[in-house]
Amino acid sequence: MLRFNKRFLLIVLLAFGIFNAVSGETVLASEKKDTRARIFVETVAKSRVTETAPVIGRFVALQHGAVAARVRGTVAEVLVDVGTRVKAQDVLAKLDVSRLDTAKLINEARLKEADGSLRAARAQLKLIGEELRRNKKLRGSAAFSRARLIDKRNEYRKFESEVAEKEAAVASAKANLRLAEIDLYYANIRAPYDGVVAERHVSLGNFVRVGDAVVTLVNDADLEVEVNVPQSRLKGIVPSTKVTIRFGNGLFSEAVVRAIVPEEDPSTRTRSVRLVPDINDRFTNGSLAANQSVTIDVPIAQSKDMITVHKDAIIVSGQSYFVYVIKDGKAWRRNINLGQAVADRYIIISGLKGGEIVATRGNEKLKPGKKIKIVEK
């Protein structure tokens, strides 16, 4: 019995020792866990930068305006409302066509009548022409009558004039019928271009005259930027100059100067500049609109090499700015003097030099002296 107890005690002691050994290994493994902050970085370098000044501009639609009625009539149907997106030649509204249908029928009847009169006049002219030729062949014979020949010549000339009048009447009747058909076509008021209905000016039963607005249509897929630039800042702008335009949601894009309007506003001492924006996939699905405000970075000086960093590297602390510089595997705080924004970067006036490495992501969790692990340069 005593021998059994000793054996049992030995087994327990061995198991306890093994447990402690395993636990010790677990503690050591946890002590070796990587506690370095994982960050993304970039190397500071000089880049070619043009000093700019922000100027507020707006988007303008190249195709924008009222779609007007081209015939008078009562509105029989309105097929669109504010916000409806349409394609060119889509029907926007329909006018009552009872009056126009009647006008077409009348002109069809007039054309038929004129055409009948013309055919009769041509037949009569042909008959008289044949008689005239027969009289001419009788010259020198006893049956020839000079007086009769003269009468037939006069009669032929009379019917020539009559045929000409009838031909003019047919042409006029055809033109009137064509106008009636055009009026019928215009009774369906169509979109002249792709766009979105910005305003609806008529309702069912309204009477419209020629020129009355039916809807206001805006082509939001064909936009330019218009900006009024002070005369003093026009030196850096010429056609084909590339500039940056910035949106309120933090997005930005490039634009190219298309034209500088050669007329100055005497009250503001500015000139209108038109730019063609580079609209990519980020600005689809109606995210841009006519008259939407944007900020244009207008060049005001010659390009020069300057140190810039990505905006994500910059941390705001009260009224100052700093970045985390990576050195010897650790992050160190560095105060900087910030210049203007250039697209998604900022000019650094002082505080950094080329070749230094700064944290761009993951920097919000850093503290001075914190060990780091670079994920991506």
Q: Residues 110, 258: one domain?
A: no
Per the structure, the complete domain to which residue 144 belongs is given by 98-184
pLDDT at residue 253, as a whole number? 85
Using pLDDT thresholds of 50, 70 and 90, give the confidence band for residue 140. Answer: low
Q: Is residue 156 part of a domain?
A: yes
Output DSSP code: residue 356: -
Q: 210 vs 80, 95, 184, 215, CA distance in Å?
A: 20, 12, 14, 14
Q: Residues 134, 176: one domain?
A: yes
Structure tokens at 269: 């001492």
Q: Is residue 1 part of a domain?
A: no
Q: What is the CATH number of the domain that holds 347?
A: 2.40.420.20
pLDDT tens figures, 339-364: 877 767 888 999 999 899 999 988 88
CA 109 to chain centre: 49
Q: What is the CATH number of the domain that holds 208?
A: 2.40.50.100
pLDDT tens figures, 157-177: 887 888 899 899 999 999 999
Q: Residues 201, 240: one domain?
A: no
Q: Kindly report which listed range (98-102, 155-159, 218-222) carries the lowest average pLDDT score.
A: 155-159
Q: Is residue 31 part of a domain?
A: no
Is the Cα torsion angle 89, 92, 97, 99 positive or negative in sign?
negative
**Domain end residue (candidates: 277, 297, 317):** 297
CB 359 within 8 A of CB 322: no
Q: Residues 75, 191: one domain?
A: yes
pLDDT at residue 209, as a whole number? 97
CA–CA distance, 72 with 214 (Å, rounded to integer):
12
pLDDT at residue 376, as a whole number? 65
CA–CA distance, 349 with 306 (Å, rounded to integer):
8
Q: Is the pLDDT of residue 333 over 90?
A: yes
pLDDT at residue 280, as a whole number? 67
Q: Is residue 265 part of a domain?
A: yes
Q: Residues 104, 90: one domain?
A: no
Question: 324: helix, coil or strand?
Answer: strand
pLDDT at residue 180, as a whole number? 95
Q: How many helices (H) and strands (E) does the chain have?
A: 3, 23
CB 94 within 8 A of CB 77: yes
Q: Residues 106, 175: one domain?
A: yes
Based on the structure, what is the number of domains in the chain?
Answer: 4
**Domain end residue (candidates: 240, 269, 297):** 297
CA–CA distance, 242 with 169 (Å, rounded to integer):
62
Q: Residues 195, 180: one domain?
A: no
Q: Residues 157, 278: one domain?
A: no
CB 51 within 8 A of CB 301: yes
Q: Is residue 27 part of a domain?
A: no
Q: Is the pLDDT of residue 79 over 70?
A: yes
Q: Is the pLDDT of residue 184 over 70?
A: yes
CA–CA distance, 310 with 342 (Å, rounded to integer):
10
Using pLDDT thresholds of 50, 70 and 90, give the confidence band for residue 377. Answer: low
pLDDT tens figures, 3-24: 445 555 445 444 444 444 444 4
Q: Residues 293, 329: one domain?
A: no
Look at the pTM and tell me if it is higher than 0.85. Answer: no
CA–CA distance, 213 with 200 (Å, rounded to integer):
9
End-to-end CA distance of the chain: 71
The residue type found at 184 is L
Q: 83 exposed, middle or buried (CB, 10 Å; 0-12, 13-18, 19+)?
A: exposed
Q: Is the pLDDT of residue 62 over 90?
A: yes
Number of C-alpha atoms within 13 angstroms, CB side, residue 167?
Answer: 7
